[in-house]
Structure 1
Amino acid sequence: MSKWLQLAILAALIAALPLLFPSGYYYRIGALVFVNALAVIGLAILIGQAGQISLGHAGFAGIGAYSCALGPEWLGLHPALSLLAGAALSGVTALLIGRPILRLRGYYLAVATLGFGILVAMVIQNERALTGGPDGMAVAELGLRDLLRDLGWRIGGGEFWYAVSGIVLILGAWIALNIFDSPTGRAMRALHGSEVAARTVGIDVASYKLKAFVISAVYASVSGSLLALQNRYITPDVAGFLHSIELVTMTVLGGAGSIMGAVFGAAILTILPQVLTALADYEQLVLGAIMIVVMIFMPQGLLPYISRRLRRTGK
């Protein structure tokens, strides 16, 4: 599927879904799907393209989220500038820690990235004077919605964040698809197949691993910032271990090798818990069983499996 066709499908879905929403609550769920999908797209670049694993990307989401909280309060920055500052800080952090830890492979790399995520969460939890500790802290209003109202365009909070998150997701998908089609993307896929073979043909393996890690960190940071801005409040959970696992699961569940798979995985794991709330105490059990079945019978992810079945049916 071509890059522009994927973007067109994504944009059409984002534009058409509100026609099916029976209430404003669904705008909130849609915005949450888009925010999660943005972080998962970054992991699709790292895991699906470069073949590297990270269990600590919630740490970068935490950096982005708390940048939007601390920037306006301590530095007087506009929330939008705080988002950009958080993305820059996450990129620099990924650059610094990526050089040593990306020398590791397999579960050694997974444990190292896990340690980074836990470290960020611990700092956020313990620095009460700065971050509010476990209680979290308030986040400043972005202000864009008030500007739109002054211009005569009245829009509710749910609709506003649905639109903003959707636009940022399309932009993030466009950037990722361009990376996929670039020499950088081809080099990443080569080292995913075999680092030895990639090194043999002259690819700087360490450099491309680091590029993928930094890019994915920036995606996670922007995702965390958007979550903080739309909630107007943030807690250390955004940087927690469980959030990292959730993001990786979304990536693998949907199909780590494609952008649409990343968005699909984020949508499934964001919406499914809302649907399963009717099962009360059995919600987590059913959710876990579904994920186990998918991983056993659809190891490439849900979207690639569905695509193959549709092609076979068409023949």
Structure 2
Amino acid sequence: MVAVPPLFFPSGFYYRVGAIVWILSIAAIGLNLLMGYAGQVSLGHAGFIGIGAYAAAILPSRYGLHGLAAMAVGACASALIAWLAGRPILRLRGHYLAVATLGFGILIAMVLTNEQWLTGGPDGMRVPRLVILDWPVRGSDTWYWIGGGLMILAAWIALNLVDSPTGRALRAIHDSEVAARVVGVDVARYKLTVFVVSAVFASVAGSLLAFFDGHITPDAAGFLRSVELVTMVVVGGMGSIVGSVVGTLVIVVLPQTLTFLSDYKHIMVGALIMVFMIFLRAGIVPTLVALIGRRWP
């Protein structure tokens, strides 16, 4: 999946698009664990991307921390915030949960925007280049392979989690919280656990995006980014790790392929997403798997 596309890249620009796909796939995989397997909706997950991104920007530039250490601190901070915020939020269900997570994401974005002394305000701030063993990481092609490798690692971790007793508990919660409680599943603990795990995935993706772009703004934690993540999960297929990657690929690449439409590009992107949802209601990957299973039993 990662090694084949570069064989067909006509220019270096495609490495940049590919790197963005792999990095955002990490966040989408984490969100799919929360939505597709545990059945918990989050409309503010970009807040954790913002935390990871600004950790990568602030800690090295102002406190001299190594980039990898800053990424780890951002992931730990996201895990702690997710644990603290998730305890009351995850008691809610349905649209109440969606609105609560939306409010959380808006709160993070407002803090990043208003605390100019720390974050640079709406204009954002520069992110120091990531250095690994005295080697400055630069170039879209390099970030393509780094992003692809970490995406594979994230997918492997997610698949192992899904196949574990925790994964079975999450699927039970998704089907029915009441039934899960009856068979002895600690619903609150498992929901909080997957919320924390998904937050760490998003934070790592945010740090990688910050290092890759070299500049970060509060838009990274904005509502539109959260909606984009949810769209990636739904289009690719909830409850499918591969679907998270496919959904990210569609949402990132589709606008690039429709640039010739100029002002009508966003209209066509929205229309195509509607078509996907009408004819592929379970998502691209689960629908294709079901069709193949019917044709070749």
Same fold (TM over 0.5): yes
Query: Is the Cα contact below 8 Å between 1:145 and 1:160 reproduced in 2?
Result: no
Q: CA deviation at 1:271?
A: 0.3
Counterpart residue number, 2:106: 118
Partners of 2:226 and 2:259 lie apart in 1 by: 22
Counterpart residue number, 1:3: none
Matched, 1:252 2:240: no
The structure 1 residue matched to 2:68, chosen from 63, 76, 80, is: 80
Partners of 1:18 and 1:145 lie apart in 2 by: 26
Counterpart residue number, 1:102: 90
Per-residue deviation, residues 140-191 of structure 1 (Å, max 9, x unmatched): 111239628xxxxxx9611110011111111101100000000000000001
User: What secondary structure, in the 3-state scheme, does the structure 1 residue paired with 2:48 have?
Assistant: helix
Give the alignment's Cα RMSD to 1 decimal. 1.3
Q: How many residues align?
A: 297
Partners of 2:257 and 2:110 lie apart in 1 by: 32
User: What secondary structure, in the 3-state scheme, does the structure 1 residue paired with 2:3 have?
Assistant: helix
The structure 2 residue matched to 1:236, chosen from 214, 218, 241, is: 218
Counterpart residue number, 1:213: 195
Counterpart residue number, 1:195: 177
Q: CA deviation at 1:293?
A: 1.7
Q: CA deviation at 1:39?
A: 0.3
User: What secondary structure, in the 3-state scheme, does the structure 1 residue paired with 2:135 have?
Assistant: helix
Counterpart residue number, 2:127: 139
Counterpart residue number, 2:40: 52
Partners of 2:2 and 2:280 lie apart in 1 by: 26
Partners of 2:273 and 2:159 lie apart in 1 by: 27
Partners of 2:19 and 2:63 lie apart in 1 by: 28
Query: Structure 1: any 5+ residue segments left out of the alignment?
Result: 1-12, 149-154
How much identity, in percent, do the aligned residues show? 57
Query: Structure 2: any 5+ residue segments left out of the alignment?
Result: none
Partners of 1:313 and 1:284 lie apart in 2 by: 35
Partners of 1:227 and 1:208 lie apart in 2 by: 29
The structure 2 residue matched to 1:307, chosen from 269, 289, 296, is: 289
Matched, 1:167 2:155: no
Counterpart residue number, 1:273: 255
Partners of 2:223 and 2:135 lie apart in 1 by: 37
Counterpart residue number, 2:22: 34
> TM-score of the superposition, structure 2-length normalised?
0.97
Partners of 2:255 and 2:200 lie apart in 1 by: 27
The structure 2 residue matched to 1:67, chosen from 48, 52, 55, is: 55
Counterpart residue number, 1:264: 246
Partners of 1:188 and 1:101 lie apart in 2 by: 17
Q: CA deviation at 1:308?
A: 2.1
Partners of 1:207 and 1:165 lie apart in 2 by: 31
Counterpart residue number, 1:225: 207
User: What secondary structure, in the 3-state scheme, does the structure 2 residue paired with 1:202 have?
Assistant: coil
Partners of 1:81 and 1:137 lie apart in 2 by: 19
